[in-house]
């Protein structure tokens, strides 16, 4: 049977890389279009944050059917963190989920991420990149919190665009 | 002394002897119900999109009223708000104004014309409502996890008070229209259930908090309706015995039982027990759930309340409710889909004609249609929603001229056509090369997860064929010569499909086998199996083999496995494929078949090998074998079912029925 595994995998891998690259570039092109329409008075970061919140809300809603409370809150939280990490992984990031000090605290660590590179390529301030990721994650939790009647929040401890080597975020239950 | 609306005496009927508990009267509130049969309120999308009752709905309900032989027959639940937030179905009847009363009266009159008890249901669809407006309403604005439903608006206290009053006003309109019983719907995600469940009610005011608080709106509705309709009109409620929402932190079963107790305290005259929400991830009523699975919920309800308890939910055979009533675990048999499939189902039970029942196959096509704004239809009953069409119902119109009809193929398409044509007065002969009736359904019904129930269709068709004098010529292969000898007026080809060979597989490859041979046990099947074809036949045989411990992989051309299965059942198959570790490669082709390996190519050109011991072919194409021969003789020809275009059982039955009418 004429089948060259290396050739097939190479083709698949290259195509995946191209697709991931197009995701980032397409976002940056839309950002540029939005800024041109918004005019010179618009704050580019505010425009990007608006987009990030829309992306986050949509993303959060898309997670509702995939999250399940049946195995308890701890398992639910790990599943949530994995879904959040998975979203970036499909875009080409390397993301890990690590346990925190208590069952209701997890750390999500981005060891590599393509978004700062896209930002640099399209002349977007590094801080905007961090704030957009924050906004996506925060807004994605909004519907999830209401739906499951919980109160989780996410905070950024380190960020690659800030020169800290990794993005490190803490996902934890809010202490009242 | 309880009121008696209609006198019924069942003592001379055979069914009353076989099922003495089903045909025994029961008192509900101050009303005597002659038997224990109830057609449960079911949406049908047959009414106008602004809520007015149509001729189609009246005819639909009249047929079901005949079926309950004196029992309770409920019209579909009505929505009650002018803003239409409570409307969950485009063809749902309305009762928010007196202008709807004349139409509602037509339904009550239709039910009474059959000497049955007319039931009126109040149904604000709440979280699953707002079908035609941008926002739904509910106790709290809990986001939807299914995108087909609208975003939610949290009701204010005045809005809740208005909603309670709407229930009361609508109930009064129902009584004015002539209905005898009022029912409040609090199930599957509708507004009442939204108030009751801690999943969707996060309020901290008097309409939220603990269970009593979450039941407050329900109690106000029950008390308001009871007061408005007076002591002669029983008021019932449908409530979940189990929400099956543990994955989203819904009520516990214990809390659900307490809702029954609170409803009884508030004054309801009966409880209708239900299970699950539309959002539940647990299957409740599909074919894979064995009949009678939920009866323990009725038993549990009986342990908590003294008022009569009713229940539907996979009680498709009278033995189940009969036994449960005898055991004191149930009081009334609710029927829904079984009477969509056969409106006269309980009547046939009473008359001792069980084999004349066209049984529901629990495919949920009816629900899938409703959720997609389409009028009710039934997978297995071509007459459903055609009850107002004279040529369809109550019996097919007689033929103008008697013809000799040769039907080739004794599968569901051929048999359906045969009994309809024979009933219309034609002389019908059915030929099949097999010795048994059923065609490829004989093998298809061996697939797991309830597919054996599909054969009930053939049992019904056989009975009807015999009743109307159809002649069977089994074990006879029809050839061009035979057609020439017989020279009938009409030939109907219902020969089923041809199982298409795979071009990349050598014809003499012993590892390549047909799906029918696998399901009938004729083919030897190895441990590693690749199934070619990702429609229903492929899924059925894949699960059949996976249940035997085989490692099964499906490869098919369709973009998603089971695209030909209706969405209300397809999700079950997707779960079963996962549970049985069956991989499905969709949108793919098999481009090369070797001795122990085959090569799959995705739609976009990637290729990968799969090891196999057996390759099962399930792809079908139309069977055109005898077409030319019939056309050559100049005979009237019809091609139906899979012989025309391979599809599913429903298409076979519907094709057969329509052509049976046309000959």
Q: Which residues make Cβ contacts (< 8 Å) with residue B540, sequence separation at least 6?
A: B444, B447, B451, B519
User: Which residue from B125, B123, B188 is spatially nearest to B152, judged by alpha carbons?
Assistant: B125
The whole-angstrom distance between B451's CA and the closest CA on chain A is 28
Q: Exposed/middle/buried for A95, CB within 10 Å: 0-12, 13-18, 19+?
A: buried
Give the number of other CB atoms < 10 A from CB of residue A29.
Answer: 12
Average pLDDT over residues B359-367: 95
Estimate the share of chain B in helix, then strand, then coil, as percent rounded to the nearest 5.
Answer: 35, 20, 45
Q: Where do runs of H (alpha helix) occur along B547-586?
A: 567-579
Distance from CA of B36 to the nearest CA of A (A): 38
User: Residue A65 and residue B606: Cβ atoms within 8 Å?
Assistant: no
CATH number, span B3-371: 3.20.20.70
Residues of chain A whose beta carbon is less than 8 angstroms from a beta carbon of chain B are 1-3, 8, 11-12, 61, 64-65, 68-70, 143, 146-149
- B145 vs A2, A11, A147: nearest CB: A147
pLDDT in tens, B369-388: 998 899 999 999 999 999 99
Q: Is the pLDDT confidence value at B148 over 90?
A: no
Distance CA B479, CA B628 (A): 11
Closest listed residue to residue A167, CA positions, set A144, A140, A136 = A136
ipTM score for this prediction: 0.88
Cα–Cα dist B251/B196, whole Å: 8
Count Cβ atoms below 10 Å from residue B631 Cβ, excluding itself. Answer: 11
CATH superfamily membership of B512-619: FAD/NAD(P)-binding domain (3.50.50.60)
Using the Cβ of B281 and the Cβ atoms of chain A, whether some distance falls under 8 Å is answered with: yes
Task: Measure the CA–CA gap between B43 and B93, rounded to whole angstroms.
Answer: 9
Is there a cis peptide before residue B68, judged by omega within 30 degrees of 0? no
E-state strands within chain A:
94-99, 105-112, 152-158, 167-173
CATH architecture under which domain A9-173 falls: 2-Layer Sandwich (3.30)
Statement: residue B594 has pLDDT above 80: yes
pLDDT digits (tens, 9 = 90+) for B79-136: 999 999 999 999 999 999 999 999 999 999 999 999 999 999 999 999 999 999 999 9
Average pLDDT value for residue range B200-219: 98
Q: Are B89 and B43 in contact (CB under 8 A)?
A: yes
Asked if B607's CB is within 8 angstroms of A3's CB, the reply is yes
Predicted local confidence at residue B393, as pLDDT = 87
- pLDDT at position A176: 63
Residue B143 has its nearest CB partner, among A1, A11, A146, at: A146
Positions of chain A with pLDDT lower than 70, given as ranges: 176
Q: Which residue has the higher pLDDT, B394 or B649?
A: B649
> Are B385 and B64 a contacting pair, CB within 8 Å?
no
Whole-number Å distance between alpha carbons of B208 and B217? 9
Token pair for A25: 């570039």
The CATH 3.40.50.720 domain(s) of chain B lie at 404-497+622-662
Mean pLDDT of chain B: 96
The pairing of strands A105-112 and A167-173 is antiparallel
**Angle (nearest 5°) at CA B571 between B565 and B572:** 95
Residue positions counted in chain B: 663
Confirm if A124 and A136 have CB atoms less than 8 A apart: no
Who contacts B297 (Cβ-Cβ below 8 Å, separation ≥6)?
A: B241, B242, B273, B275, B311, B313
Model pLDDT for residues B427-469, shown as the tens digit of each residue = 999 999 999 999 999 999 999 999 999 999 999 999 999 999 9
B145/A64 Cβ within 8 A: yes
Q: How far is A155 from chain B (nearest CA, A)?
A: 24
Contacts of A1 in chain B (CB under 8 A): 592, 594, 597, 599, 609
Cα–Cα dist B285/B248, whole Å: 20
CATH topology of domain B404-497+622-662: Rossmann fold (3.40.50)
The string of pLDDT tens digits covering residues B228-276 is: 999 999 999 999 999 999 999 999 999 999 999 999 999 999 999 999 9
Inter-chain Cβ pairs, chain A and chain B, closer than 8 A: 45
Respond yes or no: is residue B190 known to be catalytic: yes
How do the domains of chain A map onto residue ranges? 9-173
Among B10, B60, B79, B190, the one annotated catalytic: B190
pLDDT, tens digit, for every residue of B513-539?
A: 999 999 999 999 999 999 999 999 999
Q: Record the tokens describing residue A90, joined without a space.
A: 């499909």
pLDDT(B57) > 70: yes
Burial call B340-363: b when 16+ CB within 10 Å, e when fewer: bbbbbbbbbbbeeebebbbbbbbb
Chain A: give the shortest CA distance to residue B249, in Å: 7
Interface test with A, best of B139, B140, B142, B145 (most A CBs within 10 A): B145
Question: Is residue B507 predicted with pLDDT exceeding 90?
Answer: no
pLDDT of residue B7: 96
Q: Which burial class, exposed, middle or buried, applies to B29 when counting CB atoms under 10 A from its CB (0-12, 13-18, 19+)?
A: buried
Q: What angle do CA B473, B479, B481 make, to 5 degrees?
A: 105
Q: Can you give the pLDDT at residue A88?
A: 97
Q: Report yes or no: B321 and B315 within 8 Å, Cβ to Cβ.
A: yes
Please tell me which of the candidates A12, A68, A143 has its beta carbon nearest to residue B143: A143
Residues of chain B with CATH 3.50.50.60: 512-619
Percent share of chain B, pLDDT over 70:
100
């Amino acid at each position: 049977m004429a089948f060259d595994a290396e050739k097939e995998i190479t083709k698949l891998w290259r195509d995946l890389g191209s697709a991931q690259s197009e995701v980032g570039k397409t976002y940056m092109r839309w950002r540029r279009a939005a800024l041109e329409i918004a005019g010179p008075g618009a704050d580019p970061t505010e425009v990007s944050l608006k987009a990030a919140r829309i992306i986050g809300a949509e993303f959060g809603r898309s997670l509702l059917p995939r999250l399940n409370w049946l195995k308890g809150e701890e398992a639910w939280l790990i599943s949530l963190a994995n879904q959040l990490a998975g979203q970036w992984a499909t875009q080409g990031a390397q993301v890990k989920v690590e346990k925190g000090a208590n069952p209701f605290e997890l750390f999500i660590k981005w060891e590599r991420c393509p978004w700062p590179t896209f930002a640099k390529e399209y002349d977007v301030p590094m801080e905007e990149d961090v704030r957009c990721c924050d906004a996506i994650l925060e807004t994605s939790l909004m519907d999830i919190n209401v739906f499951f009647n919980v109160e989780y929040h996410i905070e950024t401890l380190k960020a690659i665009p800030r020169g800290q080597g990794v993005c490190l975020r803490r996902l934890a239950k809010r202490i009242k | 002394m309880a009121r008696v609306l209609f006198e019924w005496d069942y003592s001379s009927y055979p069914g009353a002897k076989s099922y003495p508990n089903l045909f025994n009267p029961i008192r509900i509130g101050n009303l005597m119900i002659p038997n224990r049969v109830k057609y449960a309120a079911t949406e049908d999308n047959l009414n106008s999109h602004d809520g007015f009752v149509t001729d189609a709905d009246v005819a639909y309900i009249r047929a079901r009223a005949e079926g309950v032989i004196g029992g309770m027959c409920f019209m579909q639940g009505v929505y009650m708000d002018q803003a239409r937030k409570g409307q969950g179905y485009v063809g749902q009847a309305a009762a928010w104004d007196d202008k709807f009363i004349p139409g509602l009266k037509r339904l009550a009159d239709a039910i009474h014309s059959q000497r049955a008890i007319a039931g009126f249901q109040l149904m604000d669809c709440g979280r699953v409502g707002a079908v035609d407006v941008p926002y739904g309403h509910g106790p709290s604005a809990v986001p939807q996890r299914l995108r087909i439903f609208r975003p939610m608006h949290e009701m204010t206290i005045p809005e809740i008070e208005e909603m309670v009053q709407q229930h009361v006003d609508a109930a009064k309109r129902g009584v004015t229209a002539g209905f005898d019983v009022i029912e409040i719907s609090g199930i599957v995600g509708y507004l009442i259930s939204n108030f009751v469940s801690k999943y969707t009610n996060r309020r901290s005011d008097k309409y939220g908090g603990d269970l009593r608080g979450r039941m407050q709106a329900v109690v106000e509705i029950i008390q308001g309706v009871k007061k408005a309709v007076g002591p002669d009109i029983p008021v019932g409620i449908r409530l979940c015995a189990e929400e099956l929402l543990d994955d989203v932190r819904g009520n516990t079963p214990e809390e659900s039982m307490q809702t029954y107790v609170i409803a009884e305290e508030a004054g309801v005259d009966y409880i209708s027990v239900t299970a699950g929400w539309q959002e539940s991830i647990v299957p409740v009523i599909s074919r894979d759930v064995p009949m009678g699975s939920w009866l323990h919920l009725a038993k549990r309800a009986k342990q908590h309340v003294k008022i009569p308890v009713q229940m539907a939910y996979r009680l498709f055979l009278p033995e189940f409710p009969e036994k449960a009533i005898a055991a004191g675990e149930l009081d009334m048999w609710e029927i829904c889909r079984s009477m969509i499939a056969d409106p006269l189902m309980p009547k046939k039970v009473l008359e001792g004609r069980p084999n004349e029942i066209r049984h529901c196959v629990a495919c949920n096509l009816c629900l899938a249609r409703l959720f997609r704004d389409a009028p009710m239809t039934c997978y297995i009953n071509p007459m459903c929603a055609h009850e107002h069409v004279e040529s369809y119902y109550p019996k097919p119109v007689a033929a103008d001229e008697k013809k000799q009809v040769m039907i080739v193929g004794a599968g569901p398409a051929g048999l359906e056509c045969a009994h309809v044509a024979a009933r219309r007065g034609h002389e019908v002969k059915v030929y099949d090369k097999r010795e048994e009736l059923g065609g490829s359904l004989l093998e298809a019904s061996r697939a797991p997860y309830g597919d054996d129930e599909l054969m009930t269709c053939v049992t019904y068709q056989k009975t009807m064929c015999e009743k109307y004098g159809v002649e069977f010529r089994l074990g006879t292969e029809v050839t061009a010569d035979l057609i020439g000898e017989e020279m009938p007026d009409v030939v109907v080809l219902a020969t089923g499909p041809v199982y298409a060979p795979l071009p990349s597989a050598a014809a003499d490859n012993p590892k390549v086998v047909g799906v029918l041979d696998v399901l009938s046990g004729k083919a030897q099947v190895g441990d590693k199996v690749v199934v070619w074809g990702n429609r229903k036949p492929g899924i059925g045989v894949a699960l059949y083999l996976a249940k035997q411990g085989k490692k099964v992989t499906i490869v098919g051309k369709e973009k998603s496995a089971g695209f030909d299965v209706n969405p209300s059942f397809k999700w079950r198959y997707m779960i079963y494929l996962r549970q049985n570790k069956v991989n499905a490669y969709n949108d793919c082709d098999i481009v090369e078949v070797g001795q122990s390996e085959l090569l799959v190519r995705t739609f976009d050109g990637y290729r990968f090998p799969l090891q196999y011991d057996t390759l099962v072919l399930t792809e079908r194409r139309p069977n055109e074998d005898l077409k030319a021969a019939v056309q050559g003789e100049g005979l009237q020809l019809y091609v139906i079912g899979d012989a025309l275009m391979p599809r599913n059982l429903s298409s076979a039955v519907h094709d057969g029925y329509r052509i049976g009418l046309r000959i």
